[in-house]
Amino acid sequence: MKIALRRTSASSRKHPAAGPEMVPLADLTPWPGNPRINDEAAKRLAVLIQEHGFVNPVVLWRGGSVVYAGCTRLKAAAILGLTEVPVVRAEFRDEAQAIAFALADNKSGGWSSWDEPALALALNHFDNVDVDAVVRMTGFEQEEIEGIKTGWEEPPEKEPAAEREPRIVVCPHCSGEISIE
């Protein structure tokens, strides 16, 4: 299957500025129209940020202070008492595009599903690690981990990579083709 994205003048512009910058938490405002209910998610994410650090920056529109993507990360940072967070400033053409990005950023997280046998194999890397530590590091609950790991008598073998058809994606920024196997 070949996926080609049509370039438009809007998509050909580079949205984010180069590299994240650190911005004081007190200078940032969550997008007031955020339709996500994320208080519980922020508590869980705070554990992951504490474990792995603040890896994924929040997204602002230009020089503004409104967080259009990363409101849950912002809440998690507040829970942890962080004083600053990494920020990427995007050059959206207008507020409507910033809102569209915010919605797409949240929606896209639900587009994929787990390859449960592969997930079980990945979780097997933690067989000699205390289950509380695995929960803290991965965000999976203990019951989920046990269910995933015991859901198969033997996880089915994955189709060899040579037999899978690669997906080709065309980058909207540079028009380069990317093979995803």
Report the pLDDT value the prediction gives residue 146, as an integer from 0 to 100.
87
The number of residues making up the chain comes to 181
What confidence category does residue 25 fall into, taking pLDDT thresholds of 50, 70 and 90? very high
- CATH number for 20: 3.90.1530.10
Give SS3 for 43.
helix
- Is residue 21 assigned to a domain? yes
Residues 6+ apart with CB under 8 A from 57: 20, 70, 85, 86, 87, 88
Residue-number span of the structural domain to which 74 is assigned: 2-112
Which range, of 38-47, 73-82, 116-125, 153-162, averages the lowest pLDDT? 153-162
147 falls within a domain: no
Q: Is residue 7 part of a domain?
A: yes
Can you say whether residue 70 is alpha, beta or left, with left for phi > 0 and alpha for psi between -120 and 50 degrees? Answer: left
Task: Confirm whether 73 is domain-assigned.
Answer: yes
When divided into structural domains, the chain yields a total of 1
Residue 150 lies in a domain: no
Mean pLDDT of 84-113: 92
Residue 171 lies in a domain: no
92 within a domain of the structure (yes/no): yes
